[in-house]
A and B are shown apart, each in its own frame.
Chain A
């Protein structure tokens, strides 16, 4: 058996509980590498919980219990050979509400590399520029890198968060409803960025916007009540779903 390509995520019989509340129930899902996968489903169905299982970033105060397994390139993300900090560098995450640090644009993007690498100034500059370019933000901020990140617009801040994650050179990028607080134009910019990125990064996006899932993603997974209901190519899933519950959800009859 050949080694799986970089950035391949999978879960096997993944269940997750918050105290007594079960949020995921035996989810087995393979995420296509170097493609965009969308996770859709009604609110509270466990989308965020699933996404957070991939980089083991569970909600901070929560009493979380997990069973089953999550693998990155075939190796368990809980393996002792993979410290959780390294896992999170390789599996980046962007949140629904943009979360720039209260420092400059430059320092935001440099935050990840500074944590792990001892870099010459020029090398760090290069990493920051490349990350900003990949997030299609460079042209807008190249003359104001020292300005506070919070002066940027919402859409720009969200792309800054994408750039910040990219500066770590991740194999996978997880996004939890990244556009739900943005206007259509800002949303489109982010979709364009993700579309470019899919060539070298595996992208998993949780979205409540079904059109977004349909037009952006290669594959879609439908979660309902913590269970994986259907998973397949988006073109097929949105036009001729196999499962009645998928059809009910995407035609708006529940959720």
Chain B
């Protein structure tokens, strides 16, 4: 029998002895124990693991499951995912891990599933470390976490409230060219942003996205197939991903995030540089997120985003178009679909379909995604069909 080319290999296994009850234990604890068995079985060290596939709802945490698990295990993976295929999840993880390795995203993927079983199920489904160690001290929700990041940036670099507010003002300005934006017809000046109520110092209300309902979708096919279809193809030229933590207290840095290595990989895969981008489609849940991304992309030195924003025109006809749809700060944040607005706008611009706000001769776009507290990062370099 002749074997097909190997598409990947399983190098280590771990298994916990089944028990009827796990009273008082958490899924995260079980995951830690079985992961340790598998990684050591492979003769690897935790530092070798750069990919992570987990099941849904583990760690009694409804969202950000891979980041919660990665932080718990002290991992900082370059690829992380939930595989939610019921009983097919385990097998489903194996080919996805191999595909991610073949795509050049990572080299060693931990695929882990575990569960607890209690006589009386826990009263609250949320039993993750943030719920236990942050919430009792008065820190619930993303606003406070991003306020802490912003305060740290101001302390480390002396960045000014005006610099952050300028990002919100630009988002509002660009939203005036997008009739669909929630803030269409409602521009806001830097002074108006700074005069809005303080939510958690130093973060003002108008520096935070407005939650809205919405939806976004894209269809991905092969490059060959795309060229046979109706619309101009928009190509994925490079990608990068990085997950460093879940809770803000566990962030390796408060002023530079996982987008830095994620963007570096995306630029390297695509053979491009940040300065070559015709569109910066940057995830903007808060003004601080855009500030950190501008610096992490290498568009300016660390701490210099305020000067960079002052020196550039971020509108569609400017020298550094940034979030031409208004960003989420101007468009609104339809929950998780908010991140996809940055992909959809990049495709519009690269197809030449951004009516009323088209960037002339748009060839390259940088798209970033960000999750939790500058914790989960994905960067894409997209290119127009040549």
A and B found bound together: no
